[in-house]
Amino acid sequence: MNISNANGQSVLIVGGGIAGMQAALDLADQGIKVYLVEKLPSIGGRMAQLDKTFPTLDCSSCILTPKMVDVARHKNIELLTYSEVQEIKGRPGNFTIQILKKPRYVNIDTCNGCGICVAKCPKKAPNEFNMGIDDRKAIYFLFPQAVPLVPVIDSDNCIYFLRGKCRACKKHCPTHSINFEQQPEIVEIHAGAVIFATGFGLYDPSKNNDYEYNVFPDVITSLELERLVSSTGPTEGHVVRPSNGEEPRKVAFILCVGSRSQKANYWCSRFCCMASIKQAILLKEHYPNIECTIFYMDIRAFGKGFQEFYERARAELGIRFIKGRVGSVKENPEKENLLLRYEHVEAGYVREEDFDLVVLAVGAENALHEYPVPLELDDDGFITTKDRYLAPVYTTVEGIFVAGTAEGPKDIPDCVVQAGAAAMEASILLMGGKQNG
Ligand SMILES: Cc1cc2nc3c(=O)[nH]c(=O)nc-3n(C[C@H](O)[C@H](O)[C@H](O)COP(=O)(O)OP(=O)(O)OC[C@H]3O[C@@H](n4cnc5c(N)ncnc54)[C@H](O)[C@@H]3O)c2cc1C
């Protein structure tokens, strides 16, 4: 396909999660050149950390991996991973962008992704992708299906960078791709439009010590459970209590942790109710005798198929739903588990009950506080759109668009739809069409 219909202009997309990738593919398929900048060593975003997706329980990586490969192979997409945008100057149709390429210390053009370097590396560090539940090596792939499948050296933990010794990776690399001398590099590009798809962060329950998250190892977050239940996760899908490595028999899910709260974030994160129901269903599928209880304020089952998903969990699978807040989590040393005190609003009683594992459905927050261009942000920290009703992908800066959870919490289908819309508006701008916003 010729790159001709956009007056020779290109689009910069910042963030390589599902929203950024979808926008990149939609533009590239129109023949428009795209620069896709991702700060991590691989594209994929949070979706790469998910096991299955609600409400269909499709395998997340089975949907995501082919898209990642399509992005990498598309001749109109230039992928800049492990890179960050430093500065954006100019105006619609003519932006000049400075991008910092961080050193991987591995030559991306010659590495064949064989992984011998990783196997030979003697140094371990916490595995961020698995939420620190296990360790990775100092030279590592972000995850097994990473795109590009090229490892990166974490210089803070590499013995060579710390002490000047050990070159195990370099010694054993069959393609001579290790380069300890690599330096940060600034690349300048030009683009006619920019799309921010920088995603979301998650509320950290240790900030307010919610539900003794800091104190008891068997109080975990929803993303930690997502990694535990995943077959590519640290326990290969075997869900265990962090305290003793045993399978839990009774699991409590607490919804709206850090969301819809005066003490933390006031907004609803939109995907947590369904994500928790999904996780309870997955636990039931893995361990039919497990007891799952979901403590909720309201169940927000607003999407297509969501109400049916909730009904199936409740009526068919026997997942218990209790409307009420959990007041406290304490240790029950005799039984070696956790004692939850809660109010059952509908039944009108307060009770204490033991659980083996407590999962906190932590809410979404903005991922970035500062942007390389003065974008207006809402009170909740997500990117403000010019007109919520009629121009929901336009930011307040002309020529700059937004897609996915960078604009506000949403699920994967909504990210994909918004990414398509942002790609279309960017393409109209490049072709000199009438702007909507
Ligand atoms: C526990 C849990 C379970 C979930 N389960 C489901 C589910 O079953 N179904 C469903 O539909 N949704 C689910 N979701 C929601 C889903 O994860 C999100 O809707 C989706 O991942 C958002 O995609 P995104 O592209 O907007 O953001 P992200 O996935 O966050 O991607 C953003 C990307 O931008 C990159 N980035 C950030 N800043 C910069 C920068 N400055 N420069 C360059 N790159 C940058 C990030 O590294 C990241 O790769 C779940 C969420 C959680 C937390």
pLDDT in tens, 312-367: 999 999 999 999 999 999 998 888 899 999 999 999 999 999 999 999 999 999 99
> For position 333, what pLDDT does the model report?
84
Q: For residue 2, what pLDDT is reported?
A: 41
Domain layout of the chain by residue ranges: 10-102+184-199+367-430, 116-172, 203-363
Q: Is any atom of ligand 1 closer than 6 Å to the C-beta of 257?
A: no
Any atom of ligand 1 within 6 Å of the Cβ of 306: no
pLDDT over threshold 60, residue 432: yes
Taking the centre of ligand 1 as the mean of its atom positions, its distance from the CA of residue 169, in whole angstroms, is 32
Give the tens place of pLDDT for each residue, 13-64.
999 999 999 999 999 999 999 999 999 999 999 999 999 999 999 999 999 9
Residue nearest to atom 37 of ligand 1 (CA): 198
Q: What are phi and psi of 280, to 5 degrees?
A: -65, -40
Q: What is the pLDDT of residue 168?
A: 98
- Judge if the beta carbon of residue 360 lies within 6 A of ligand 1: no
Question: What pLDDT, on the 0 to 100 scale, is given for residue 5?
Answer: 57
Asked if the domains 10-102+184-199+367-430 and 203-363 are classified in one and the same CATH topology, the answer is yes
Q: In testing the pocket of ligand 1, which one of 271, 383, 402 has its CB within 8 Å of the most ligand atoms?
A: 271
The fold adopted by the segment(s) 203-363 is: FAD/NAD(P)-binding domain (3.50.50)
Position 436 scores a pLDDT of 65
State the pLDDT at residue 336: 87
The residue whose CB lies within 8 Å of the most ligand 1 atoms, and thus the one to mutate among 50, 98, 224, is: 50
Residue 165 has pLDDT above 90, yes or no: no
What pLDDT score was predicted for residue 433? 75
Residues 399-416: tens digit of each pLDDT: 999 999 999 999 999 999
User: What local confidence, expressed as pLDDT, does residue 437 receive?
Assistant: 61
- Distance CA(204)–CA(365), nearest Å, equals 9
Q: How far apart are CA 280 and CA 316, in angstroms?
A: 13
pLDDT beyond 70 at 295: yes
Q: Which CATH superfamily is domain 10-102+184-199+367-430 in?
A: FAD/NAD(P)-binding domain (3.50.50.60)
Query: If residue 232 lies in a helix (H) or strand (E), which one and from where to where?
Result: none
With CA atoms as reference, report the closest residue to 7 among 434, 401, 437, 433: 433
Q: Which pLDDT value is given to residue 4?
A: 46
Residue 357's nearest CA partner among 257, 221, 237 is 221
Cα 427 to averaged position of ligand 1 atoms, centre (Å): 24
Cα dihedral 53, 54, 57, 58 sign:
negative
Percent of the chain with pLDDT over 70: 98
CA of residue 214 to ligand 1 center, whole Å? 24
Confidence of residue 286 (pLDDT cuts 50, 70, 90): very high
* Average pLDDT of the segment spanning 369-377: 93
What's the rounded mean pLDDT across residues 295-322? Answer: 96
CA distance 192 to 400: 9
Q: What's residue 393's pLDDT?
A: 97
Task: Give the mutation target among 97, 129, 368, 411 for probing the ligand 1 site: most ligand atoms within 8 A of CB.
Answer: 411
Tokens of 364: 């979404």
Tokens of 194: 């920019």
315 Cα–ligand 1 center, Å: 31
Cα of 413 vs centre of ligand 1, distance in Å, is: 12
